[in-house]
Amino acid sequence: MKPIDPHHIIRKEPCIGAQVNSGAIFEMVYRPEKFETTFAIFENDSVRYEPIVRSNGNEGFVPFSPQNNLIRNKILLLPSAAVEYGTTADLINEIRNFIHRYVTVSPLFEAISAHYVLLSWIYESFGTLPYLRVRGDFGSGKTRFLRIIGSLCFRAIFAGTSTVSPLFRLLHIFRGTLVIDEGDFRFSDEKAELTKVLNNGNSKGFPVLRSEQFGNRKEFNPVAYDVFGPKVIATRGYYQDAALESRFISEDMTKNRPRKEIPLHLPESYADEAEHLRNKLLMFRFRNLNRYSVNQIVENGLEPRINQIFAPLLALMDHENERSALLELISDYSKELSFDRSLDLDSRVLEVVNELWNGEPLPLRSITTRLNEKYADDLQETVSGKRVGFVIRKVLGIRTRKRGGLFEILPTEHGRIESLLKRLGLEAEAA
């Protein structure tokens, strides 16, 4: 791809990056010290910088203006150049050290997060992606985690606690990593819109269709928005949709006691460190985009969901020792997940039954009241007695009877309850 004279280009279209038929890859970079944007173009294992890339004939791509609000306000984070990074293992270690310096997460999740950052820079190589999620109450470190991880991810789009409506266009145009805080969304319409993004955004070929007003004729024309890509999210609780919940690799931030050496406020040097790492990650993208493929089976004996969400991460490992280390992490995560019993309403109901059960008839009304008290933040809704009854009878298979106008669990269901508890790794409370 030869350098071109910008004056010969008549039609110029803003673009953030792409691959061309010649095999060259170009990415928009932002140079804050010069307050300018340009393209880093990778071809024949070398990088050059040009203000325009020819697309067809006298048409060409130009970078978005540095005056763009997303760039100026650091909502969209970009590299400033492409620099050497050593080996993939060196880069992973540097990412992990950066995470460790500024945020407290478990060693397991720290390693997973470092690999996820790397994955975000070549995500187009894969057909299905996991999401990275931290959970916890206010003050648990969720926002700090988002800032640290998001500052390294590919084309990070910091949506914060934004309304959902702009996200469709942002993801469609910039094809980057969505970073969103307080992803629970209290209002049902926003929750429904975000759910569309998350449900469709982890697999290729599933755009979100939205009706858009057409001109002044008030004609609505369906528009397909591509929302596929990495996503890093913070929530207070879980999502009720089990299929959506299964897309996340999660960390409970309330379990981590902040280390004393973690700075209360991020130093000014943090931004420069993050930019330097993004520059190395850009070179990693140039050298490795389309290089990796996924073996859908990570390891026999692991549940299908674990295989699916970790397969893209495992594909990044070139050397056997790296693969073995990550497989060990996957095994540890699978064990941790088996003890996380709050992923669905069925488990929560059973835990409440276990808490209240004393061998005597147990009213469903008492179960419903305790369930809503105990899991108010996680559920983000009030569960009805009718729904609790359905879970107990139809899902868990526990028999009930109606007495005095109220339904209750029969004392004879003790064996059934113990069997269900054992299946989830719980022990029956002492009566």
In a domain, 56, yes or no: yes
Burial of 30 (0-12, 13-18, 19+ CB in 10 A): buried
Q: Judge contact between 299 and 307, C-beta under 8 A.
A: yes
In a domain, 81, yes or no: no
| Number of domains within the chain | 3
In a domain, 265, yes or no: yes
**Segment holding 419, helix H or strand E:** helix 414-423
Residues 194 and 274 in one domain: yes
Burial of 389 (0-12, 13-18, 19+ CB in 10 A): middle
| Beta bridge mates, 49 | 40
Residues 42 and 119 in one domain: no
Residues 58 and 140 in one domain: no
Q: What's the pLDDT score for residue 429?
A: 52
In a domain, 73, yes or no: no
CATH number (domain holding residue 184): 3.40.50
One-letter amino acid of 353: V
Residues 273 and 378 in one domain: no
431 residues of the chain, pLDDT tens digit each: 555 555 565 678 999 999 887 789 999 999 999 999 999 999 999 999 999 998 776 788 999 999 999 999 999 999 999 999 999 989 999 999 999 999 999 988 898 899 999 999 999 999 889 899 998 877 889 999 999 999 999 999 998 655 677 888 999 999 999 999 876 555 556 667 788 889 899 989 899 888 766 555 566 678 899 999 999 999 887 776 666 777 888 888 888 888 889 999 999 899 999 999 999 999 999 999 988 877 555 665 666 667 777 788 888 876 677 677 777 777 776 666 654 544 467 788 888 999 999 889 999 999 999 999 888 766 667 888 988 998 898 878 899 999 988 999 998 998 888 888 776 555 555 44
Q: What's the pLDDT score for residue 155?
A: 97
In a domain, 82, yes or no: no
In a domain, 74, yes or no: no
Residues 203 and 243 in one domain: yes
Q: How many CB atoms lie within 10 A of CB 314?
A: 21
Q: Judge contact between 4 and 60, C-beta under 8 A.
A: yes
Name the residue range of residue 22's domain. Answer: 6-68
Residues 48 and 180 in one domain: no
- What is the C-alpha separation between 429 and 416, in angstroms, rounded? 14
User: Which of 212, 201, 205 has the alpha carbon at shortest distance from 247?
Assistant: 201
Residues 99 and 55 in one domain: no
Residues 10 and 96 in one domain: no
Residues 40 and 104 in one domain: no
- What is the C-alpha separation between 22 and 42, in angstroms, rounded? 11
Last residue of a domain, one of 314, 338, 362: 338
Structure tokens at 176: 């980057």
In a domain, 309, yes or no: yes
Residues 96 and 183 in one domain: yes
Last residue of a domain, one of 284, 303, 338: 338
Question: CA dist 232 to 92, 116, 152, 178, Å?
Answer: 18, 9, 11, 6
Report pTM: 0.76
Residue whose entry in the numeric block shows the structure tokens 């949709």: 241
Residues 315 and 238 in one domain: yes
| Long-range contacts at 304-309 (CB < 8 A, ≥ 24 apart) | 305/246, 306/330, 306/333, 306/334, 306/337, 308/128, 308/130, 309/130, 309/246, 309/247, 309/249
- What is the C-alpha separation between 278 and 110, in angstroms, rounded? 18
Residues 60 and 118 in one domain: no
Last residue of a domain, one of 40, 68, 96: 68
In a domain, 428, yes or no: no
